[in-house]
Each structure stands twice: as C-alpha cells, then as structure tokens.
Amino acid sequence: MTAPKITFVGAGSVVFTQGLLADLFGYPELGDVHIALHDIDQERLATALAAAKRIAAERGVKPVLTAHADRREALAGADFVVDMVQIGMGEATRVDFDVPARYGLRQTIGDTLGIGGIFRALRTFPFLKELGEDIAEVCPEAWLLNYTNPMAMNVQYLAEVTGSTRVVGLCHSVYWTVHGLADLVGVPFEEVTYVAAGVNHQAWVLRFEHRGTDLYPRLAELAGSDEQLRRRVRFDMFLRLGFYPTETSEHSAEYVPWYLKHDTEIERLRLPVGAYLDIVAENEAEYERTRRAVAAGEPLPVEGTSEYAPQIIHSMVTGTPRTVYGNVVNRGLIDNLPSGGVVEVPCLVDGTGVRPTRIGALPPQLAALNRAYLSANDLVVRAAIEDDPRHIRHAAMTDPATAAALPVERIWELCDDLVRAHGDRLQPALRAVL
C-alpha cells in the first residue's frame, strides 16, 4: 500500500488530531499520505485543517490535506478511518454528571461504564450505525480505528450492527500504565517485558518483568513502605487482587462497588468526584488556545503522542511488525470472559492487518470483575439493537457502582430523567419513560 488515505472523523477534536498527525508525520514513509478531515462543526474543522498544515510544515512533509463537511466525501476511498467523535460534546457530558448527582450518585470520569458510560454509548450508537453504513458503501476495505468511548460498548455495537471484522478500538492506558510502573520500580521502560489483558480501562498487568525477574514483588514492597501509594485505588486493588489495573484510579473506582459509595473511601483514596468536568473545561480551553494561535499565525506545539493508530497505519503500510494493544471481539481470546464481548489484548500488526493474541484464562478474581463489566455492556448493546428501553434500566441495575449507590426504584427514576434530558440524541424507541 502506498500513499494511503486516512480519514479523521471528529477531526474537530483538534488537540487530539494534532497529536495523531505529529505521530503520523514523524514516519518518513507516511509523509505523502492523504489526510481527509471531517467534522460537523465548521469552525473546528477549519481550525483542524490549519493546524494540520502547520504541523506538516514543521515536520517537513507534504501530505495531501483536505477538509470535508460531508462525511461520505471524506470517507470515499479511505484505507483507514480514525473515529474520535463525542456526541453532544461537553453539554451532554455535563448532563451525565449533573442529573445523577441529584440522586447522590457519584462519578469521577463517567465515560466507560456506570450511568455516564451507558448514556454516552446510547447517544453514540446512532452515529456509529450511520458511520458503519457509510464505510460499507464507500470504503469497504478500510480499517476503522476507534478512539471514541465507551470503547468496549462501541466496538461491540459496531461489530454486531455492521458485521465488520476490520474494527479495532484503541486506548493508551496499557502503554502509559506500564510506563508509570517502570518509573516507580526504577527500570527503563524499554527493558520491561509485560503482558496485559482484560477489558478496556479494566485490563490487568499479568506479566511485569525485567530481564526475566518478576517486578511485582518490588512493586508490593514499595506499596508496603509508602502510605501515599496505598492511598491510590489502583494500588488498593493491586494489593487485594494480586494484579495491577491498567487505568487511572479515577477510572478504576467507577467500575467496582467498593469505593464511591463511601465517604471514608473517598477521603482515604483521595477520589476527585466529578473530575471529568474539569477535563472537559480544560479541553475546551485548550481548543480555544489552539484556535487563537492558528488565527494569529503563532507557533503550535508539535509533539508525538505514542498513540497506537499511527503505529498501526505505519505497520500495515510498510510491513513493519509491532505489538499494540487493541479492543476486539472475544472469539476464543480470553476463555473465561463471554464470547462476543469486547476484550483488550496484545495484537500483532504488520502488512497483513491486526491479529489479536490468544491469552487463555484470566485469574478468576480478575475475570469475575471483567464479567460484571461485560454484562452491563451487553445489556446496553441489546437495548439499542432490540429497541428495548427496559434494557437501559437492566444495564444500570447490573452496573456495580450504580447498584451499590441506589435502590432499584431510584435507578429506574434516574434512567427516566436521563432519557428526558438527552431526548433526541437517543434512537426513537429508547426515548420511552417507563
């Protein structure tokens, strides 16, 4: 494959687009790619295009750069589609926090599981269905590289609705988790051998070694001597479960029933309730800084991100083999997790595509937590595919943190309020108040 066409859907996520382009343009073999940018927000699309031109110039490459308000036009002939949309943007995210907060339900990030993850998925599914249909018609051989959360729900929905086998969900959590652990134990990341597997934002570091020596005892020793480390959710889970989870403590607290319900645990583990609202505000401010810099002709930072999408594209174009972590449908990859659910596993990438690695069985305590996560995911997907609004409530009842915080009648009332609040963003059959 030479000079591939890469379509960015949701390119108005300008800062993230910049990072991906900096990575792509850092590969000499990809200097002449066609980057097609698409967004429904014209101002953000124009800003993304101007930023892309600036990054290309600073990298010294000459790609073809085009901007498209029409999605099918952007997709036509694409070899890769990078999806990074956020349906409803910050406004919808604030609804996901504000309405549950009135019920006393605490969230930190709200983009993966829990009540926030459920409704983020439900307002994203109609878009994903349309995107999948467009890809099938105008670029059927393209690989869809999805960054949009909730990752596992979205990838499962895409796989079931489109039947596509060329969908991979990408997340940086495994990479940066192991980076952080290597720093903690004082070993260069490049010298660490590791394997992780599970589900997105709740995968587990199953192997963590340096030159054949297990690094977990050193990590446990550090935790035993450092009270501040023990005041992190991830270390609390590591010491109790025996394996380290691959997402931040803010994320990890939301996927289990043990922490956010209890004031004492919030204090002990320093959990920032509502943290994602600050991230939303910072993202909006960062976009405004970028927009002003582009308009004024000021320099833009051009920094790589080590994200997986550019690595996958480079490997498939050049045949360079490498391992990345991908979110894919579980077809015999993890024995004690449900078939058809979406799991996060190492994937070999080369000129032939993306090939997930079979892991076998997870330790039973880890699989038990992952199964609860995947059960809630499946109910959300079933709600959309079967047009069954009751399954929205069933998913919320099944979700560990929601079930720990609220009695069942309040869970149903909360779902009714969120359905009303999100209104037309949901597919028609799911707008029912029960």
pLDDT in tens, 179-204: 999 999 999 999 999 999 999 999 99
**What is the DSSP secondary-structure string of 204-219?**
EEEEEEETTEE-HHHH
Distance of CA 80 to the CA centre of its chain: 18
pTM reported for the whole predicted model? 0.95
Crossing angle (nearest 10°) for helices 14-25 and 308-318: 30
Evaluate whether 9 touches 84 at the Cβ level (below 8 Å).
yes
> Where in the chain are the domains?
5-169
- Give the per-residue pLDDT at 4: 94
| 214 burial level (CB within 10 Å; 0-12, 13-18, 19+) | exposed
How would you label 248-267 residue by residue, b for 16+ Cβ within 10 Å and e otherwise?
bbbbbbbbbebbbbbeeebe
Which residues touch 186 (CB under 8 Å, ≥6 apart)?
none
Closest CA to 297 of 60, 53, 63, 61: 53
- In the chain, which residues have pLDDT < 50? none
| 397 burial level (CB within 10 Å; 0-12, 13-18, 19+) | middle
Token pair 């960054």 is at which residue?
A: 147
CA distance 109 to 111: 6
- Give the per-residue pLDDT at 90: 85
Per the residue annotation, which of 34, 38, 172, 394 is the catalytic one? 172
CATH 1.20.120.610 fits 5-169, yes or no: no
Alpha helices in 322-407 (DSSP H): 364-385, 390-398, 400-405
Give the count of alpha carbons within 13 A of 335, CB side only: 6
Evaluate whether 109 touches 254 at the Cβ level (below 8 Å).
yes
- Give the per-residue pLDDT at 1: 53
Closest CA to 199 of 255, 127, 265, 273: 255
C-alpha R_g of the chain: 21
Crossing angle (nearest 10°) for helices 364-385 and 114-138: 60
Crossing angle (nearest 10°) for helices 114-138 and 151-162: 40
Q: Which residues pair with 198 in a beta bridge?
A: 203, 344
172 carries an active-site annotation: yes
- Give the per-residue pLDDT at 297: 81
Q: Is 387 helix (H, G, I), strand (E, B) or coil?
A: coil
